[in-house]
């Protein structure tokens, strides 16, 4: 047998989407369309496993549809595709509003929210869809909120995947103490200023840029790009290239 075996994504008997499910992914998820045939199988399997593990509910008249479930699950799987563990273990519920909503917790209007105490991830559906439609403006609500959820899940459940991610993120935070690098980031004008509020928002902003404009990211901030690539064990710039034969994953 030729080729190296890697334990990142393989599952012995992957579940496959039906026609309706696959049609939604093919229409809306460019990431999926750029995968090799084998990796499309693993992507589909992970999406279906995600749907088995989360309870979706609507607010303010929203009726949960197959499209909503598939697109949110696909965004989550895209985010964790380079990882062995891909479920957000600190969360069980996904709540969808029709548009930006008033949060009784923060007393402010939100497009999205992540609450590890209640185990909920919240989206404004209009804003979630907008993030998918425009793929190169570095604003993707799904990726943003799911990155928060991923980080909080890794803090709570210290799997090997979590330790690798958090260790690399801590290395990045340590490196960011360098004033010269700070100036370079700010002067580049590449990252949204919203990301400078705290480390949680900075991480989510990095991820939006990493998936939406990876070429510009790598050219503008090559050192940061390399660190993010290590955190996610994945390089979006190599997405359309044939992947190594993947191996066993949960």
Q: pLDDT tens for residues 195-210?
A: 999 999 999 999 999 9
pTM over 0.75: yes
C-alpha atoms less than 13 angstroms from C-alpha of 147 in its C-beta half-sphere: 24
C-alpha atoms less than 13 angstroms from C-alpha of 233 in its C-beta half-sphere: 20
Which residues, 6+ apart, have CB-to-CB distance to 149 below 8 Å? Answer: 88, 90, 91, 114, 116, 121
pLDDT attached to residue 8: 64
Residue 32 · residue 70 · CB < 8 Å: no
Find the helix packing angle between 160-175 and 141-156, rounded to 10°. Answer: 110
pLDDT band at 182 (very low <50, low <70, confident <90, very high): very high
Average pLDDT, the chain: 90
CA–CA gap between residue 75 and residue 108 (Å, rounded) = 26
2-6, 189-193, 226-230: least confident range: 2-6
pLDDT band at 247 (very low <50, low <70, confident <90, very high): very low
CA–CA gap between residue 28 and residue 73 (Å, rounded) = 12
CA 248 to chain centre: 21
Q: pLDDT tens for residues 44-78?
A: 999 999 999 999 999 999 999 999 999 999 999 99
Q: Which domains are delineated in the chain?
A: 10-248 (3.40.390)
Cα distance from N-terminal residue to C-terminal residue, the chain: 23
Q: What is the mean pLDDT of residues 168-178?
A: 96
pLDDT attached to residue 239: 75
CA 221 to chain centre: 20
CA–CA gap between residue 190 and residue 192 (Å, rounded) = 7
């Amino acid at each position: 047998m030729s080729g190296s075996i890697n334990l990142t994504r393989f599952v012995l008997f992957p579940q496959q989407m039906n026609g309706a499910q696959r049609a939604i992914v093919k229409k809306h998820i460019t990431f999926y369309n750029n995968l090799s045939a084998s990796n499309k199988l693993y992507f589909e399997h992970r999406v279906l496993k995600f749907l088995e593990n989360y309870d979706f509910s609507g607010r303010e008249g929203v009726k949960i549809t197959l499209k909503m479930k598939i697109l949110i699950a696909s965004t989550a799987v895209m985010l964790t595709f380079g990882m062995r563990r891909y479920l957000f273990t600190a969360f069980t519920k996904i709540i969808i509003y029709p548009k930006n909503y008033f949060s009784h917790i923060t007393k402010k209007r939100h497009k999205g929210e992540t609450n590890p105490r209640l185990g909920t991830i919240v989206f404004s559906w209009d804003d979630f869809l907008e993030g998918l439609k425009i793929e190169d403006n570095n604003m993707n609500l799904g990726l943003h909120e799911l990155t928060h959820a991923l980080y909080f899940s890794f803090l709570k459940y210290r799997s090997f995947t979590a330790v690798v991610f958090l260790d690399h993120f801590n290395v990045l935070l340590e490196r960011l103490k360098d004033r010269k690098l700070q100036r370079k980031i700010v002067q580049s004008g590449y990252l949204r200023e919203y990301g400078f509020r705290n480390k949680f928002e900075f991480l989510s902003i990095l991820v939006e840029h990493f998936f939406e404009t990876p070429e510009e990211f790598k050219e503008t901030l090559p050192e940061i790009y390399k660190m993010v690539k290590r955190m996610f064990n994945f390089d979006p710039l190599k997405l359309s290239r044939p992947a190594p034969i993947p191996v066993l994953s949960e």
